[in-house]
């Protein structure tokens, strides 16, 4: 599957554990406009299990999430 949407803001959160990965995600959102897209790289395990769930709860929309060859995840989120 190819992703045609590109991120307006990108954050590589590889190696950033919970909950600091969510804190940094929220800080990134705070500097973005509604409708803009945030691209994240999240570790496998708790980060990919928790961060998307939390951003959905705050009303943002997950556009895609796919696992990369190194096991980390690429996630695209549209800001509410």
CA atoms of 45 and 53, how far apart (whole Å): 13
Q: Residue 68 CB, nearest distance to other proteins (Å)?
A: 25
Q: Using CB under 8 A as the criterion, which residues of the chain lie in contact with other proteins when the complex forms? A: 19-20, 22-24, 26-27, 30-31, 57-58
Q: Is 18 a catalytic residue?
A: yes
Nearest CB to other proteins, comparing residues 2 and 59: 59
Among 18, 32, 62, 63, the one annotated catalytic: 18
Q: Residue 3 CB, nearest distance to other proteins (Å)?
A: 27
Q: What is the DSSP letter of 22?
A: H
Contact 34, 79 (CB under 8 A): yes
CA atoms of 2 and 24, how far apart (whole Å): 27
């Amino acid at each position: 599957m190819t992703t045609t949407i590109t991120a307006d803001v990108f954050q590589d959160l590889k190696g950033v554990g919970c909950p600091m990965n969510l804190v940094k995600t929220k800080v990134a959102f705070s500097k973005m406009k509604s409708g803009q897209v945030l691209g994240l790289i999240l570790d496998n395990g708790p980060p990919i299990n928790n961060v998307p769930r939390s951003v959905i709860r705050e009303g943002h929309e997950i556009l895609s999430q796919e696992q990369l060859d190194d096991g980390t995840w690429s996630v695209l989120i549209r800001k509410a």
